[in-house]
A and B are shown apart, each in its own frame.
Chain A
Amino acid sequence: MVEITPQLLMLQLLTGLALGAVYALLAIGLSLIFGMLTVVNFAHGAFFMVGAFLGVYFLTLTGSFWFSLVLTPIAVGAIGLLSERFLVRPLYGRGIDYPLLLTFGLSYVLVEAMRVIFGIDGMPTSTPTELRGVVNVGFGMFPLYRLFLIAATAVIVIALWLFIEKTRYGLIIRAGSRDNEIVRVLGIDISRIWLLVFGLGTAIAGLSGLLAAPTRAVNPEMGIPVLAESFVVTVVGGMGSLVGAVVAGLLVGVVFSMTSLFAPEYAELSIFVLMAVVLLVRPQGLFGKAGLMG
């Protein structure tokens, strides 16, 4: 047993925040799509996985992490756009379960597609050269890449917030998630906005896959636990709330890393227990509105 010092606790907290940053991104993508289209994307984990594969592929192809950082979300988002246009769209108005079932089937296809293209063993990953090494964070040494994860997430969240709160498109998205019929009456083609939002949500999932790739094993099955974990975050934070997604994402990350410090056996279980507690005390989630549950 390692001796628990305040420094160790702080470092573990930071590790948790870095892990939580990925969770937050995943949950934002899910929440964005749900808030707008009332579709739970069961292929979210698969899009995350595709992002990790394509990210590593683009990295080896171009030799630059930054190129990959731009190309990956575009490529994954493009798959998302095609999926919405040709698969999800015909199902609007047919009950909430159908888009969910469809994306579930889609996840099978995405997993197999990656197996066909990149093989069943997955891909070796390494931290990009620019972001290797450790830095002194005041109370100990911390891997640079994990700091970058936190910073990158912060940038993405702020950019997204500005987009939604300050731009014309964002205004339409906010209006559309309140009442899409009124938006339609005002002469806006809502189906294009839905397409855009689905693309955006899946692009963020792909981006989080790329960002998480150096910290975990990249294989076709990696999306499955991620899907469950992002659901935990969404339930804890409250569906459809971006603030909830960020706070709950970080909270879940910290709970996971703290449990793995004190009781590593129960680390995987801890976040589900957290979810169970939230369900008992506040079924709509920390930041959710009670009405959304229906």
Chain B
Amino acid sequence: MIAKHRVASVLVFLLLFPLIMPYEALALNILIFGLYAVGFNLLFGYTGLLSFGHAAFFGVGSYLTGITIVHFGLPWWLAIVAGTLASGVAGLLIGFLAIRTRGIYFSMVTLALGQIVYYAFYKAERWTGGENGLRGVTVEQINVFGLTRDFVNPLTKYYVLYVFVALALWLVSRILASPFGAVIESIRENENRTAACGYNVARAKLLIFTLSAVICGLAGALRALHLSIVPIDSLHYLLSGQAVMMCLLGGMGTFFGPFVGAAVFLYLEDVATSFTTHWMAIVGVVFMIFVLFFPKGIWGTLVQQWQRRASSVETK
């Protein structure tokens, strides 16, 4: 049931999500970073390409949304479109270079290219605010179909951003269910064989890289609206690493995994920071335990258990 209507399941859950969270800000964060991890999962989980530079797309989405609002006075929804498109362009450029490499090189090159974007935005202080981040991305009221709503209210904000996340999830599900989705999974399983079957592997990789960048960029754009500032951390290597961690914790290559991972990661961070400043050590240890013992992640391991149980029932 859940697997059949995966988009609907996630959406129903996310609809009720703010009600079960201790406070709305955490729910908003999980919504945004869940989407970020979903975008990353397209590349890592489904195509088998481990990028360590995805903060570049998250950050470009964030910054371009912010810049178009602050410097050009664009309406908020148009700014989201601008930010998302810009990260798509960034994805196309970085992807073009990165897919020339394979295997381990790919991770190293995406990391290095991500640093370029970081330094570029860091230096362009006039546009981005440099080290202090871009301030003043404030949207106080939004007007949808004649309905004016107070955007400062966290619940309103949550459900507005939710609409965008819903659209993105539908798109991702659609991509995965398409023949193209089968092609990227076959690249993960055996690249040479996919090429031998007549598929243009390089083009498929570039396309999925760009799509992944677009989804991550949208997540970044939403975060700019949520925080009303764009911190320079949005482009930082650590944020690229967070995508990897969330994806692996939740279960790479599964539809629900990234959201589970994002929720666990951010909840863990929230709890751990309340009693220690050294929460990164806890995150690091938990992550290593998962790499060593639960490489399928939380959701992946659960699914495996269910399948095992189901098949043992059948044989009886």
Contacts and interface: CB of A to CB of B under 8 A. Distances in A.
Mutual binders A and B: yes
Interface of A: 34, 38, 40, 42, 87, 90-91, 94, 96-98, 100-102, 104-109, 111-113, 115-116, 120, 224-225, 227-228, 231-232, 234-235, 239, 265, 268-269, 272-273, 275-276, 279-280, 283, 293-294
Interface in B165-179: none
A293 B248 CA distance: 25
A232 B111 CA distance: 9
A113 B107 CA distance: 25
Nearest to B289: A105
A265 B123 contact: yes
B142 to A, nearest CB: 37
A279 B100 contact: yes
B97 A105 contact: no
Contacts of A105: 245, 284-285, 287-288, 291
A228 B105 contact: no
Nearest to B96: A280
Nearest to B284: A108
Nearest to A288: B105
Contacts of B280: 108, 111-112
Given A105-B288, A105-B291, A225-B115, A283 B278 contact: no
Residue of A101, A107, A265 ringed by the most chain B CB atoms within 10 A: A101
A227 B53 CA distance: 13
Interface of B is mostly: helix
B113 interface: yes
B135 to A, nearest CB: 23
Contact of B105 (A87, A235, A273): A235
Given A112-B284, A115-B278, A116-B278, A227 B111 contact: yes
B31 interface: no
A272 B291 contact: no
B237 A269 contact: no
Nearest to B283: A108
B249 to A, nearest CB: 11
Contacts of B287: 101, 104-105, 108
Interface of A is mostly: helix
Interface in B104-162: 104-105, 107-109, 111-113, 115-116, 119-120, 123
B112 A101 contact: no
Contacts of B277: 120
A109 B288 contact: yes
B38 interface: no
Contacts of B104: 34, 38, 40, 96, 100, 239
30 contacts: A40-B107, A42-B52, A90-B292, A96-B104, A98-B291, A98-B295, A101-B244, A101-B248, A102-B291, A104-B287, A105-B285, A105-B288, A106-B284, A106-B288, A107-B284, A108-B287, A109-B284, A109-B285, A116-B281, A120-B277, A227-B237, A235-B109, A268-B119, A275-B112, A276-B116, A279-B101, A279-B109, A280-B97, A280-B100, A283-B101
B112 A235 contact: yes
Interface in B259-316: 277-278, 280-281, 283-285, 287-288, 291-292, 295
B112 to A, nearest CB: 5
